[in-house]
Structure 1
């Protein structure tokens, strides 16, 4: 019995043989040896191609010479369609030279018909070797994928700091623009810049979240407001021949999620839909109750659609149908949706468009929209604010914003320069310091200032990749407020006002 290894289970064996009697003898020989197998016989090219298309066999056994067809032709067809599938010649006319040629052509083995005793063990060995090779290839692919993800993690971590610094001004500038202009067109452009900056930051954070497997803080999201923001961002990407339809009029549709992550999911799906409509069509975003406890967010297009094979690989890392795609967009979308306790359901047909349904847990309606409104910020009264940040663009913008609000800022690029300013100009009323400044850390700077008599409030900017005080706790006796990045100017000004009021 050819069972010197892991059980093979039931096999499907394709016989390329013009003689029914010879085929029956081969089948009997393998069954008597203990192989569990089902058999299918073909004797021409068309029948072989049809059999391979209908069901992929575990192994192909082929005669060498047949009327109008040959074993070499059968071997070439198999290698064309299934390169790794085992193939064994079983022939009564095979000499030594012919056997060597057969192996050179890509056959796994050869058996002489009038000496068939070796056939069952040869079949078992060839199937086991093929399965082993398939498993080795699968492991190698998984290893390669893991290495690519690890490289991606290193790349994301390396770029995140620089990208945050580049995008930070785009979060601060819109508030300054709004303060200096009442023109609705200008403020609308400021809104677009702010939304784009938040999305850029979210792309950086989402990549880090993807490779780390971390979760972002969530909030209550009212779907009509989310749709408005998504529509605003999409307008610059919509071709003239694509119409955008937003349907989320019910303010009671509320979901608990991270706002920017859910916005990223919708933007990603919508941009994919736009690219799937090169001839134009309608892009529809719909929010509605799916059932009593779930919410359905639908992204639907009239595009080229997808076949079943594409749909089965949609959420595989690095799989993409775009020339410039990364193959991570939909993977990230599914991760975000599943982290919310939801699922993505895809329906598509070639030439009939695609529909992505996000099914999410439905939350109770928001109590009062007025709670979201930001209270008016009190104007500064000339208080002196020491601002310390090693990012020159952000430092300049923070100084300008504080000055426009009625404060008197003084700025420094590092802890040593800040300490010199204090020694030369006296103690400030408040300190706004980045947690990652060089030369003197934020904690060391505040400790030195405290030694000089400073007892006012300190606002420390903290990135999510490091604590505000990396070298120990904050100095005792100081009122310290930690403000997470990325910064938005209204939050900064509110933090300064609240810190001064509390002091």
Structure 2
């Protein structure tokens, strides 16, 4: 019985046979043995090429001699089309030499017509071996991709660290311009530089966030601004056949998350829609609305809809499977990344699609509380009044920039590049009013430095500089400022710690 091993399920077999009666008997024999599926008969080279160009087959079963055509020619046609598809000869004329030649040229097996009992088992074995080989190759490809991702993670870690150092001045210096100039043109220029630095850092860190699965810092995002950015970035990807329609949401429609990640997510979904309409054209629509779920919570629904070819149920079930793709050059990682981004903010992603009727992706995202949308850029810095600040940071560029920023704002900064130097500074200059300690300092850890400070009598507030996504130890610090450090966040934390601002 061919079904003695792993069940094959429905199969699709191409019969190369000139006799309709022989083909009918052959099909009955295979079906009686438990092989169910679709059997297509051809008797010439052109018909065979046409059949192979359609839906894929599981196996080709061929006679050796046909009028004006031969089994060897059929095997050659198949190997030009697919080098892996199994091919079995079933003939009454094949001899030992011919059988050996057939196997050497790529046939999977041969069965003599006067010994037909072996045919179902030979067919089933050839199909199972071909499927096993495809699964093995697929597993090897996934392993190679996984190994490339591991290498990418190491490269991304180094790249992210170096670029953060390079971009740090773009995040700190523009905020200081307000202390030196009231010129609105200079302040606007500073805002542009600061925004560019922030987005540049997030884009560099996005790759690291994906390969490590880390949780990036969150912010409140205007959906209207997000849509405008996506519309601008898509202009070069639209063909003449595809029309982009952006239904602009109200300015007060907000979501909570990482701006760069959601921008990449929407662009990914839009590009998928554009590619789905490559042949027939159509309209790509980007829209958003606020809804109330059954649990009473407010949600913002971002919708990307296309009029493309659509998907069947089998494809929809695998959409978010790692490395699954229907594109010849696809990686199978884009939609998985979108799903991770949405679920990271406690949202969900839904897909509605049907063959020939287009596809719509909906991102259901929890709406932020109204009082969360407070522009930090509107806050004015207060005079530090000479308060001594211990600043311990192993990044020389950031240490210098933050030290100058603190001094310009009226504080008395005591700067140290590592834990040991910080303790020497305290021994000579006395205890500070506030300690700002980077968690990645050398020689002594941040916890060790803080422990020595406490033993020396320091009872003031502690502000830690922490990488995004790292868990905070609430018992050993007053506040946390996420890196890359922005002057607004740092000054706000200091002012609250000192009681300068309620």
- Common topology (TM > 0.5): yes
Change beyond 3 A, Cα 1:298–1:188: farther
Q: What does residue 89 of structure 2 align with?
A: 89
Aligned pair partner of 2:495 in 485, 492, 497: 497
RMSD: 4.5
Change beyond 3 A, Cα 1:366–1:473: closer
Question: What per-residue deviation string (whole Å, max 9, x for no partner) do you get for residues 85-109 of structure 1?
Answer: 2111122222222111111110001
Secondary structure of the corresponding residue to residue 370 of structure 2: coil
Q: Distance in 1 between matches of 2:258 and 2:274?
A: 25
Normalising by structure 1, report the TM-score.
Answer: 0.79
Contact kept in structure 2, 1:287 and 1:298, CA below 8 Å: yes
Q: What does residue 442 of structure 1 align with?
A: 446
Say if 2:335 is the partner of 1:335.
Answer: no
The runs of 5 or more residues in structure 1 that have no matched partner are none
Q: Distance in 1 between matches of 2:374 and 2:480?
A: 26
Q: What does residue 390 of structure 1 align with?
A: 394
Q: Which moved more, 1:4-13 or 1:57-66?
A: 4-13
Q: Distance in 1 between matches of 2:90 and 2:159?
A: 60
Q: What does residue 425 of structure 1 align with?
A: 429
Shift of 1:489: 0.6
Change beyond 3 A, Cα 1:133–1:412: same
Shift of 1:332: 1.9
Question: What per-residue deviation string (whole Å, max 9, x for no partner) do you get for residues 387-412 of structure 1?
Answer: 22110110111011112211222322
Q: What does residue 65 of structure 2 align with?
A: 65
Contact kept in structure 2, 1:269 and 1:299, CA below 8 Å: yes
Say if 2:117 is the partner of 1:112.
Answer: no
Q: Distance in 2 between matches of 1:3 and 1:62?
A: 22
Contact kept in structure 1, 2:62 and 2:74, CA below 8 Å: yes
Secondary structure of the corresponding residue to residue 8 of structure 1: coil
Q: Distance in 1 between matches of 2:479 and 2:57?
A: 68
Contact kept in structure 1, 2:287 and 2:304, CA below 8 Å: no
Contact kept in structure 2, 1:9 and 1:36, CA below 8 Å: yes
Question: What per-residue deviation string (whole Å, max 9, x for no partner) do you get for residues 312-359 of structure 1?
Answer: 898654969899x97745542232135443326598999xxx987543
Q: What does residue 9 of structure 1 align with?
A: 9
Q: Which moved more, 1:484-493 or 1:390-399?
A: 484-493
Secondary structure of the corresponding residue to residue 49 of structure 1: helix
Q: Distance in 2 between matches of 1:152 and 1:240?
A: 27
Shift of 1:292: 6.2
Contact kept in structure 2, 1:63 and 1:71, CA below 8 Å: yes
Shift of 1:467: 6.1
Contact kept in structure 2, 1:222 and 1:366, CA below 8 Å: no
Question: What per-residue deviation string (whole Å, max 9, x for no partner) do you get for residues 433-452 of structure 1?
Answer: 21221123223333434444
Aligned pairs, how many? 485
Normalising by structure 2, report the TM-score.
Answer: 0.79
Secondary structure of the corresponding residue to residue 103 of structure 2: helix
Shift of 1:306: 8.6
Question: What per-residue deviation string (whole Å, max 9, x for no partner) do you get for residues 205-257 of structure 1?
Answer: 544443444545656544235446x37xx869976999998653414533344
Contact kept in structure 1, 2:376 and 2:488, CA below 8 Å: no
Shift of 1:299: 6.0
Change beyond 3 A, Cα 1:322–1:194: farther
Q: Which moved more, 1:159-168 or 1:243-252?
A: 243-252
Shift of 1:172: 1.6
The runs of 5 or more residues in structure 2 that have no matched partner are 294-298
Secondary structure of the corresponding residue to residue 4 of structure 2: coil
Shift of 1:58: 2.2
Shift of 1:19: 1.9
Change beyond 3 A, Cα 1:120–1:262: closer
Secondary structure of the corresponding residue to residue 2 of structure 2: coil
Q: Distance in 1 between matches of 2:339 and 2:411?
A: 46
Say if 2:320 is the partner of 1:297.
Answer: no
Change beyond 3 A, Cα 1:326–1:51: closer
Secondary structure of the corresponding residue to residue 93 of structure 2: coil
